[in-house]
Amino acid sequence: MNAVVAAVGIMLVLSLCRIHVVVALIIGAIAGGLISGLSLEATIDAFNSGLGGGATVALSYATLGAFAVAIGKSGLAHALADKALALVGRQDDGKAVTGIRLLIVGLLIAVAMSSQNILPIHIAFIPLVVPPLLYVMAKLRMDRRLVACVLTFGLITPYMFLPVGFGGIYLNEILLANVNDNGVATDGLNVMSAMALPALGMLTGLLVAVFVSYRGNRDYDLEAIGQTERVDVSYSGRTLVMALVAIVAAFVVQLWLGSMILGALTGFVLFNLSGVVKWKEADDLFTEGMKMLAMIGFIMIAASGFAEVMRETGEIASLVEGSVAAIGDNKALAALLMLVVGLLITMGIGSSFSTIPIIAALYVPLALEMGFSPLAILALVGTAGALGDAGSPASDSTLGPTAGLNVDGQHNHIWDTVVPTFLHYNLPLLVFGWLAAMVL
């Protein structure tokens, strides 16, 4: 059996059995290395050498967690939640409740998409915005699996379709650059045209989640929410203004210096200087915030080690070559198998951005040989990279929503985020990505 398929399969099965994702990643990486013929020592060395690749991301999320707790202390998010709660309290009929639910869905999509393109802070907004809304969502009997799907849509679709912010990095600096480097002239190609159908697949999955799968009611323990996320946080005009100033300053520093770490620290220091966070509380508050997103950091570090072992096995290329042997001259089968292989790789690595350089060198020559057009090749490689970002236990596009929705322990990462996003986004992406490859 191919070592990459075995490693990803073992990791996913263990995760579905509620084994912690970090443990599942480590066991999957070791199993994959041994199956490929690497010694245990070589496998562990490869895993250890890859850990550093996730360190910067982990520290960024830890400091963003501290910044998020400071914003929570200011009461900004709770002020918004109070307005929503007051609106809920005035509504009794089912149509009005549905309208408020859709309003929350629309706002979360707008914020999530803005976090990728307009103000590129990625998942950092989730611990700021989502926990204070949990009480409101519970009063509305809103299914958190719906919210997980909504957030994941907003985190993934913008970067795979809009060439701004993280989308500029994914589409221009990674996708176009790697396809061009491997033999396809990309000058004059409209990358948005190539990715339009895959993006439509994401939209289809979102609409199914909102209007079919999770339109019903789901009950949550209000007392548990109250114990972890206080609904009576005090705030004033001064604390709200300081929160806005700190957020703007953090954004400016992040965009200026290109560092989420320094941006988050700037915002946290401003909260200290303004008195919103008292000096004697600062140390405990910073530690609390780091704990909030620490799990994401550790999973990202473990995922980097897992990815390095997969590269070291050398069996990603053999996975593609094995698929080629089954293709023959069948373009339709070729497109489908390339997408499925991309899904497997990204599910294990947890990052679309890291997957593209791996698969472009293998896919572009094959696609050229099969007679795919340049636009079709862009769609194939771009979709194969994005496949698996939703639905991967190690992806920040699933870890972020879980971090916000599970602060009270009522939202399971695998069964309430990973499985729903896998079903609603990876399956439509396979279909629409395949269609794009065939019609472009």
Mean pLDDT value across the chain: 82
**Helix residue spans in 209-351 (DSSP H):** 222-228, 237-257, 260-274, 279-313, 315-327, 331-349
pLDDT at 375: 92
CA dihedral 96, 98, 102, 105 (to 10 degrees): 120
Read off the pLDDT band of 214 (50, 70, 90): very high
Tokens of 258: 């290109």
**162 within 8 A of 117, measured Cβ to Cβ:** yes
pLDDT at 198: 94
Q: Tell me the pLDDT tens digit for each residue of 370-390.
A: 889 999 999 999 998 888 888
* Single-letter residue type at 135: Y
User: Does 366 score more than 70 pLDDT?
Assistant: yes
d(C-alpha 384, C-alpha 341), whole Å: 8
Q: Tell me the pLDDT tens digit for each residue of 326-356.
A: 666 788 888 888 898 888 888 877 777 777 8
Read off the pLDDT band of 85 (50, 70, 90): low
What is the rounded end-to-end Cα distance, in angstroms, of the chain? 34
Cβ-count burial 199-234 (b if 16+ within 10 Å, e if not): bbbbebbbebbbeebbeeeeebeeeebeeebeeebe
**124 within 8 A of 404, measured Cβ to Cβ:** no
User: Does 73 score more than 80 pLDDT?
Assistant: no
Over residues 23-46, the mean pLDDT reads 89
Read off the pLDDT band of 177 (50, 70, 90): confident
* Single-letter residue type at 41: E
Task: Say which residue, 272 or 57, is predicted with more confidence.
Answer: 272
Considering the entire predicted model, what is its pTM?
A: 0.79
Over residues 170-191, the mean pLDDT reads 84
Read off the pLDDT band of 417 (50, 70, 90): very high
pLDDT at 313: 84
pLDDT at 199: 94
Q: Tell me the pLDDT tens digit for each residue of 224-254.
A: 887 765 555 666 777 778 878 887 887 788 7
Distances (CA, A) of 439 to 105, 197, 331, 429, 436: 33, 10, 11, 15, 5
pLDDT-above-90 percentage for the chain: 21
pLDDT at 293: 65
Distances (CA, A) of 168 to 118, 159, 270, 358: 11, 7, 30, 19
pLDDT at 257: 76
Helix 21-36, helix 279-313: angle, nearest 10? 20
User: Does 158 score more than 80 pLDDT?
Assistant: yes
**37 within 8 A of 197, measured Cβ to Cβ:** no
CA dihedral 154, 379, 389, 320 (to 10 degrees): 180
pLDDT at 247: 77
216: phi then psi, degrees, rounded to nearest 5? -80, -175
User: Does 90 score more than 60 pLDDT?
Assistant: no
User: Does 33 score more than 60 pLDDT?
Assistant: yes
pLDDT at 154: 92
pLDDT at 422: 94
Q: Tell me the pLDDT tens digit for each residue of 272-328.
A: 787 777 777 777 777 776 766 667 677 777 877 887 888 788 877 777 667 666 666
pLDDT at 186: 81
User: Does 12 score more than 70 pLDDT?
Assistant: yes
User: Does 416 score more than 90 pLDDT?
Assistant: yes
* Angle (CA) 50 56 61, round 5°: 120
The CA R_g of the chain, rounded to the nearest whole Å, is 22
pLDDT at 399: 87
pLDDT-above-70 percentage for the chain: 86
Task: Say which residue, 425 or 233, is predicted with more confidence.
Answer: 425
290 Cβ contact partners less than 8 Å away, ≥ 6 residues apart: 62, 63, 65, 66
